[in-house]
Amino acid sequence: MSEPVLQMRGVERRYPTGAGAIEVLRGADLALARGELVALVAPSGTGKSTLLHLAGLLERPDGGEVFVQGRAAGTLDDAARTAIRRRTIGFVYQFHHLLPEFTAAENVMLPQMTAGVARAAARERAAELLAAFGLSARLDHRPGRLSGGEQQRVAIARALANAPALLLADEPTGNLDAATAEQVFAELLGQARGRGLAALIATHNPDLARRMDRVVTLREGRVTPV
């Protein structure tokens, strides 16, 4: 088997509080093979967002190690971690986190231009990605003039902008009505499968989770199969 796109080994995360530390992750292990789509379904407060932020190199664990395409991230400085994040990882949040003063196309262009892609090429790729989500007529709309479902589609297109190997999504349709959530989730999975991405997607919806290759949960700070 080729090396996992994402591997988390013995990952620990605790948050200090007045009453002592909360141990959120207590030795979490998880490996995602290339092209593998994994759902993370666990009750509120068990550490899904925490796990995704650690996997996305947005935060550092208190113990254990996160490997992205075989490379240990713990010993890298912030600049090297940012470079891996930019090239290899796409992240989708529950609330789109689009930049309000930029258009849909510009939101998808920005990560590409930050990675050194020229403006015209970035615009072309943004138009292609947004077309894949049925948004060709919305390229020049700012987020405030898009529906919730359209905003999430743009956020997913942005996550795909730099052709990542790993897609991480934190309840990407949690903020949408059931019918729209269903549609956007299907499009997300279709794009991830079509591009051969590994994906870890937190969701509260068991019907959506069942469409993925594997479902895991968090129990006492560890990742366990469902």
Ligand X SMILES: Nc1ncnc2c1ncn2[C@@H]1O[C@H](COP(=O)(O)OP(=O)(O)OP(=O)(O)O)[C@@H](O)[C@H]1O
Question: What are the percentages of helix, strand and coil residues in the chain, rounded to 5?
Answer: 35, 25, 40
* 11 exposure class (CB count in 10 Å sphere: 0-12, 13-18, 19+): buried
| Closest to 27 (Cα-Cα) out of 166, 198, 204, 218 | 218
173 binds ligand X (CB under 6 A): no
Per-residue exposure over 178-207, b if at least 16 CB sit within 10 Å of its own CB, e if not: eebbeebbebbbebbeebebbbbbbbebee
- Nearest-angstrom CA–CA distance, 167 and 108: 15
Q: Which is nearer to ligand X, 15 or 95 (CB)?
A: 15
User: What residues have CB less than 8 Å from 19, skipping those under 6 apart?
Assistant: none
Q: How far is the CB of 199 from ligand X (least distance, A)?
A: 17
Work out which of 49, 112, 152, 173 binds Mg ion, going by CB under 5 A.
Answer: 49
Q: Which is nearer to ligand X, 47 or 111 (CB)?
A: 47
55 binds ligand X (CB under 6 A): no
Q: Which is nearer to ligand X, 13 or 158 (CB)?
A: 13
The item of ligand X, Mg ion, none sharing an interface with residue 15, based on CB under 5 to 8 Å by kind, is ligand X
- Nearest-angstrom CA–CA distance, 225 and 63: 22
44 binds ligand X (CB under 6 A): yes
Q: How far is the CB of 212 from ligand X (least distance, A)?
A: 17
The item of Mg ion, ligand X, none sharing an interface with residue 50, based on CB under 5 to 8 Å by kind, is ligand X
Q: Which is nearer to ligand X, 38 or 104 (CB)?
A: 38
User: What residues have CB less than 8 Å from 28, skipping those under 6 apart?
Assistant: 8, 10, 11, 12, 47, 51, 64, 218, 221, 222, 223
The item of Mg ion, ligand X, none sharing an interface with residue 164, based on CB under 5 to 8 Å by kind, is none
- Nearest-angstrom CA–CA distance, 6 and 2: 12
What part of residues 52-91 is at the interface with Mg ion (CB under 5 A)? none
Residue nearest to Mg ion (CB): 49
61 binds ligand X (CB under 6 A): no
50 binds ligand X (CB under 6 A): yes
Tokens found for residue 159: 């996550």
The item of ligand X, Mg ion, none sharing an interface with residue 125, based on CB under 5 to 8 Å by kind, is none
Q: Which is nearer to ligand X, 111 or 221 (CB)?
A: 221
Query: What is the three-class DSSP state of 82?
Result: helix
Per CB under 5 A, residues contacting Mg ion are: 48-49
Per CB under 6 A, residues contacting ligand X are: 15, 22, 24, 42, 44-50
